[in-house]
A and B are shown apart, each in its own frame.
Chain A
Amino acid sequence: MSSSPSLNTWSDALSGFSIGWFPLGLVIVAVIPLVFIALYALTYGVYGERKISAFMQDRLGPMEVGFWGILQTLADILKLLQKEDIVPTAADKFLFVIGPGILFVGSFLAFAVLPFGPAFIGADLNVGLFYAVGIVAIEVVGILAAGWGSNNKWALYGAVRSVAQIVSYEIPASIALLCAAMMAGTLSMQQITVMQAGPNGFMHWFLFNNPIAWLPFLIYFISSLAETNRAPFDIPEAESELVAGYFTEYSGMKFAVIFLAEYGSMFMVSAIISIAFLGGWTSPLPNIGGLELNTMTSGPAWGAFWIIMKGFFFIFVQMWLRWTLPRLRVDQLMYLCWKVLTPFALISFVLTAVWEIYR
């Protein structure tokens, strides 16, 4: 089961291809996740979120541009491209300009280790999970640069809150992912997924394979909401008190880049939770006797379908929670992180270690 010979066949074949010194194949390998982020943010991220939010509130949402408003996001992009880019006189110009860039690059770099199915991954690092946890944290620098560089009180408070929140929730999140790494015994994203593959579909997933796994799963899910500044942890950009948080002063293309980065990291955490606990690109359907549902729904294309669908499912849950739970206060946020999630993360770490050694 482990070290399946047919892993990464597509991306390896692409990587080997180059014109002279120019590694065209590698660039194509990197362009595919970029195109995916852009397409997903345009369709499901913005349009989907607006429609889902609207239906949850018994509204219709965008209806004007195209059939059922389907071209609304395209119109928004055209508008954002033409918008004047305002840089406040009081701002630190350098930080103000590179802030969104750091945010986006940090979010995009995490996609390098995201396996889109058994045959495609940007770079199958042997420290993949560790790299993903670390690189997502670079966004903190971007947020602080954007908030501090704006020289705006809303932006600064939003940025400081956001940094404190992301940095705090990083601890329970990384300990929870550590539990998944301990169950798998490897940090490579592909190997972690392969460990959860098998003919019985979802029964091989760590979440159902291990009696303790639900605890790190829940801890990581809650922490991932905080790390992406999603409700109920959206205090950094709380509209009713901080206007828009760290991107108050941004307009035009820089605003679009910040949004792309946020939707990118939303998908990234959803994909990481799928890989760590819900089998990544493996099919959830089991083989039932002669009816080989699992074998039928496995393969490179099916793998890409499953990982994207699992990611989209968790994004849907994030949208759902946004309209279900009220926002937390800062002190409640810190209470939840340091006095609830961190102790429970340490407990789940000890229990997982004991289970894995003595089972």
Chain B
Amino acid sequence: MDQTLSGFGTVFVFLVLGIVFVAGGYLTARMLRPSRPNPEKNSTYECGEPAVGSAWVKFNIRFYVVALIFIIFDVEVVFLYPWATVFKPLGPFALVEVLIFAGILALGLIYAWVKGDLDWVRPTPNIPKMPEMPNRRIGKANG
């Protein structure tokens, strides 16, 4: 099998053509379409109401956790792909090595699973309740 990187020149032609196609589409539409902006039309859509604040807000921390787990497994897969093309000649020894490698990462998945990082809705933490205030009990007794 050819071991060099070849054919990426063609991929570059695809890249240029894709950009040209999108830019050409924008340009054609720009020549054909009307442009009559007004403040109402250019306001942010929020179901007809005036938009409240900016949309650039903090969002759920769960998304970052998903991204972190993703990176771990993505790196694993990147290492496995080259191995997949040559593992048949390498035989059982390479298989055992890769199984150890994949096993360590599977252990990571189990760890995240047990820690509850894979649950989208975390169970509500059990916060101990404040003891009832004595003066309220007095108030109740008084009627």
Contacts and interface: CB of A to CB of B under 8 A. Distances in A.
A104 B22 contact: yes
B99 A90 contact: no
B10 A29 contact: yes
A206 interface: no
Interface string B13-32: 11101110111011011101
Contacts of A181: 81, 84-85
Contacts of B45: 88, 152, 154, 243, 248-249
A356 B88 contact: yes
Nearest to B59: A160
B102 A108 contact: no
A85 interface: yes
B111 interface: no
Contacts of A331: 119-121
B36 to A, nearest CB: 7
Interface stretch (B72-80, B125-133, B134-142): B72-80
A122 interface: yes
Contacts of A123: 7-11, 14
Interface in A95-124: 97, 100-101, 104-105, 108-109, 111-112, 122-124
Nearest to A264: B18
A257 B25 contact: yes
Interface string A166-182: 01101100110010011
B78 to A, nearest CB: 8
Given A34-B17, A83-B33, A357-B95, A89 B39 contact: yes
Interface of B: 1-3, 5-11, 13-15, 17-19, 21-23, 25-26, 28-30, 32-37, 39, 41-47, 51, 54-57, 59, 63, 66-67, 69-70, 73-74, 77, 80-81, 84-88, 91-92, 95, 98-99, 102, 106, 109, 112-113, 118-121
For the complex of A and B, 3 pairs with smallest distance between CB atoms: A253-B29, A123-B7, A331-B120
